[in-house]
Chains A and B, each alone.
Chain A
Amino acid sequence: MPKDNLNQDNIEISRRKMMGLVVGVINLGLIGAIVGPMVGFAAAPLGNKRKSRWVELMDESRIKPGEVKEVNYSLLVVDGYHEVEQKFTVFLRRSEEDVICIDPACTHLGCRVDYHADQHKFICPCHGGVFDDEGTNKSGPPPKPLERHPVKIEAGKIWISREV
């Protein structure tokens, strides 16, 4: 008899343990069922790839060698749930040989740099980053040169390519 009782208890305990375990597993499943899709949903933009597009900016004749020019243009881009005409700025710099296109986003934390023609420098208003007129970082926090966009000149027109 006592032996039987003991067994009863053991069965009872393992039954309790088993049920507890099942409850735990179900709960983990529930958490996974909501957290998993949730993370995937929130992180969906990570899967979007950008494509580069060529944009016609202006007549080649409008920029002279040695000049740096700020050019604004707008593009129809997809911004989340809607298409918007977004404005962009780039700086074109023409030397004797070629034209380069410099992006104004500071390579430190992304403020928009300004060109100071008198000093031939790009200066960032945020933390004082300074770049020369080719976009090479000279002083302040920026870790690398300003980004450049590919340029082509076709039939007297300047085109640049950018990712959107």
Chain B
Amino acid sequence: MSQKTYKPKDAPTLSPEVKVDEPREAVSSEERLQIERPSLRDWMDLRLGWYGFVRKNLDEPMPAGVGWWQTLGNLLMTLLVFQFITGFALAMYYSPSPDSAHASVKHLTYEVGLGSFIRGLHSWGSTVIVIAVVLHMLRVFFWGSYKKPRELTWVVGVIIFQVILGFSFTGYLLPWDQKAYWATVVGTRIAATIPVVGHALLVFIRGGEEVGALTLTRFYSFHVMLLPASLILFTFLHLYLVRRHHIAGPVTPAKGAPVPFYPNQLFKDAIVLLFGVGLLIYLAVALPPGLEAIADPTGTDFSPRPEWYFLGLYELLKVMPSGWEVVATVIIPTGITIGMFALPWLDRSKSRHPAKRQWIIMSGFAAILLIGLMTLKGILETPPEHKKSEATLAGSSDIPKAEATQLESLGE
């Protein structure tokens, strides 16, 4: 087994005195093979090796000092399972076409029994996941847990983070209401600010020049096929790496021997799940999801705003002077992403202690402060009252309607 060939230097081990539940199997698998009439449990275990696997994970040694901060990963896993299940349920009623998307969401929210609750779980779930993932990343960051040999655990984590942002960007469009449509018009236009290839990229993302039917099918296919598949893959890889390298203890080793994962840590995990999932259910019930008017490319009585966790970027766009938007749309976000990927190699200090890696901690604080303040600014700033000036409206109320049949096509 891998344990024989690989064992990290700082791997925590349970001292023999620590009490764990006795392995159930008093006899070896060889001996059990010989049992004439094995119990179903023995029969299954012989084939699956399941109990050994469960046992090993329940006995996983937790260094002293590991506790509440290490429960976030488990919370994330649970929330992801919730997202998968509610997403699967929503897809039973949803139809990804501009003709029917809005109507199908309206139907499932207001007419289907429990529809509002299921949709609430899914949409609030994305928010709670983003909060939990950010907290999880911050704890790994301040603990310096990304250092050797856990670099790839971190890198896979950053990939997962990108996938989660991809989920929220593509999912936001699906209800096909005003908010969805305009956030996507603006969000996809960001691609067009990239020099040279920008326009081609925009058409590729939208599936055409404008946000339309093909944008919706494209986003839908990413949201329900590619992103979930990648998320599952990378999450398993992440968990495998977490177990392979074991949880890193506190930056200054705490007194005391490692204890098994079960029951102490699992108990803390369960408490956090109770509150995390409880909060999610509360939000889904107390603040049921809404639906705005159907997407309207001509509508003016609407001021587009993205999902709250993209508001930082939105505010950044406001302060960029003309001609510099590529800095806000591409350079800063890409820079932060590259910095995140490269973090384990940027931070060369041997020690995980924050005092021993001051400039990394400082840049981390700076980035968090920038993103946090910008997001806060975006949240606090009530959308500017976006009234049509009456004078213009009066003149144009008798709208001429050029009939499609009247058109003559002149070509280029």
A residues sitting closer than 8 Å to B (CB atoms) are 42-43, 45-46, 48, 50-58, 67-76, 79-82, 84-89, 108-112, 114-118, 125-128, 137, 139-143, 161, 163
| Cα–Cα, bound, A46→B392 (Å) | 38
| Cα–Cα, bound, A37→B322 (Å) | 40
Q: Does B113 contact A (CB under 8 A)?
A: no
Q: Chain A contacts of B300 at CB under 8 A?
A: 89, 112, 114
Whether B213 pairs with A81 at a CB distance below 8 angstroms is: yes
Query: Residue of A at shortest CB range from B207?
Result: A45
Whether B391 pairs with A108 at a CB distance below 8 angstroms is: no
Closest 7 CB pairs of A and B: A76-B404, A80-B213, A80-B214, A125-B303, A117-B391, A58-B400, A109-B189
Q: Which residues 301-355 in B have Cβ within 8 Å of A in the complex? A: 302-304, 314, 317-318, 320-325, 329
Q: Chain B contacts of A56 at CB under 8 A?
A: 402, 406
Segment at the interface with A among B24-32, B72-80, B117-125, B382-390: B382-390
Q: Which residues 162-193 in B have Cβ within 8 Å of A in the complex? A: 182, 185-186, 189-190, 193
Known: A48-B208, A116-B389. A72 touches B396 (CB 8 A): yes
Whether B402 pairs with A86 at a CB distance below 8 angstroms is: no
Q: Chain A contacts of B393 at CB under 8 A?
A: 70
Q: Which of A80, A128, A140 contacts B208 (CB 8 A)?
A: A80
B189-233 to A contact mask, C-beta < 8 Å, 1/0: 110010000001001101111101110010000000000000000
Segment at the interface with A among B81-89, B277-285, B291-299, B362-370: B291-299
Whether B212 pairs with A126 at a CB distance below 8 angstroms is: no
Q: Chain A contacts of B389 at CB under 8 A?
A: 114-118
Q: Does B407 contact A (CB under 8 A)?
A: yes
Whether A45 pairs with B189 at a CB distance below 8 angstroms is: no
| Cα–Cα, bound, A140→B384 (Å) | 15
Min distance, Cβ B107 to any Cβ of chain A, angstroms: 20
| Cα–Cα, bound, A118→B392 (Å) | 9
Whether A126 pairs with B204 at a CB distance below 8 angstroms is: no
| Cα–Cα, bound, A86→B299 (Å) | 12
Q: Give the total of B residues in contact with A, Cβ under 8 Å.
A: 60
| Cα–Cα, bound, A142→B300 (Å) | 18
| Cα–Cα, bound, A114→B395 (Å) | 14
Known: A51-B412, A140-B322. A110 touches B186 (CB 8 A): yes
Whether A46 pairs with B304 at a CB distance below 8 angstroms is: no
| Cα–Cα, bound, A25→B213 (Å) | 39
| Cα–Cα, bound, A143→B204 (Å) | 23
Whether A53 pairs with B391 at a CB distance below 8 angstroms is: no
Whether B396 pairs with A114 at a CB distance below 8 angstroms is: no
Whether B212 pairs with A80 at a CB distance below 8 angstroms is: yes
Whether B411 pairs with A128 at a CB distance below 8 angstroms is: no
Q: Chain A contacts of B314 at CB under 8 A?
A: 127
Min distance, Cβ A39 to any Cβ of chain B, angstroms: 10
Whether B320 pairs with A74 at a CB distance below 8 angstroms is: no
Q: Does B408 contact A (CB under 8 A)?
A: yes
Q: Which of B186, B325, B392, B411 contacts A111 (CB 8 A)?
A: B186
Min distance, Cβ B98 to any Cβ of chain A, angstroms: 7
Whether B410 pairs with A161 at a CB distance below 8 angstroms is: yes
